A = this chain, B = another copy of it.
Amino acid sequence: MYKEISLPEAHDCADCPIRHRAVCARCDADELEQLDAIKYYRSFQAGQTVVWSGDQMDFVGSVVSGIATLTQTMEDGRTQMVGLLLPSDFVGRPGREGSAYDVVATTDLVMCCFRKKPFEKMMVETPHVAQRLLEMTLDELDAAREWMLVLGRKTAREKIASLLSIIARRDATLHLRPAKGKLVFDLPLTREAMADYLGLTLETVSRQISALKRDGVIQLEGKRHVTVPDLDRLLIEAGDDSDGGMFA
């Protein structure tokens, strides 16, 4: 249905936007050169599937720009999102043949891919890569556990507020704005994708967003552009007034 966009320009790690946050963050010049030798870029259109669950995956890589999702699907079609991949996040698992999940681009997406075999070799030889990957994986595990609380115990309203607060804060750190007081951002997900993330139906998502808007917790311009007048208020609605869910 879509065809992959080829990306003509070569990229230099030196001015890579995710250089200091991705799996290569700890690498020195020499190690970067090694990575450079096995890397290539791929672009995907919004909606395009990057890998199907169960399919052979001959690469691993980092999200450079755009957003992708990890989802699991049951035989009868029920689906649960299990990961939201933002720029600098890592895709794939060294030492595993196939993908355990569907990976789908929800916006236009650029990935920095490494051929798997040589990457696995580097994992063994250059501890900086393995160390950074461990750190990132531990962060993702924390995020996954935070989501288990959201999925298992929070109400629909709290779930929506939790998701909004996470996106708001991620967006703030990405644009280096202070994550407090008034925040403005665009929702990178459809109502259906939010529902899949939160274990809800899209109707419930829609209703709860309308309710938060009616109650003045958020303002909406169009369907995607959100203003949060008071982050603390949103966090209270999310059920965690201290500091709640962080993504990877």
A: residues with CB less than 8 A from B are: 70, 72, 74-76, 78-80, 82-83, 93, 95, 100-101, 123-124, 127, 130-131, 133-135, 137-138, 140-142, 144-149, 151-153, 198-199, 239-241
Contact = CB atoms under 8 A, between A and B. Distances in A.
Given A151-B151, A152-B198, A95 B135 contact: yes
Contacts of A76: 239
A209 B241 CA distance: 36
A134 B130 CA distance: 8
Contacts of A130: 127, 130-131, 134
A67 B86 CA distance: 35
A133 B133 CA distance: 11
Q: Which of A76, A138, A142, A145: most chain B CB closer than 10 A?
A: A145
Given A79-B153, A130-B131, 4 more contacts: A133-B134, A141-B141, A147-B148, A152-B199
Contacts of A137: 134, 137-138, 141
B148 A100 contact: no
22 contacts: A70-B145, A72-B145, A72-B146, A72-B148, A74-B149, A74-B153, A74-B239, A74-B240, A75-B239, A76-B239, A80-B148, A82-B149, A83-B145, A100-B142, A124-B131, A130-B131, A134-B137, A137-B138, A137-B141, A140-B141, A144-B144, A148-B151
A82 B148 contact: yes
Contact of A152 (B123, B135, B151): B151
A127 B130 CA distance: 9
List the number of copies, as a whole number.
2
A-B CB proximity, top 10 nearest? A152-B199, A82-B145, A151-B151, A144-B144, A80-B149, A80-B152, A78-B153, A134-B134, A151-B152, A72-B149
A97 to B, nearest CB: 14
A123 B240 CA distance: 33
Contacts of A124: 127, 131
Contacts of A70: 145
Given A137-B138, A142-B100, A148 B149 contact: no
A22 to B, nearest CB: 16
A138 B152 CA distance: 22
B199 A153 contact: yes
A122 to B, nearest CB: 12
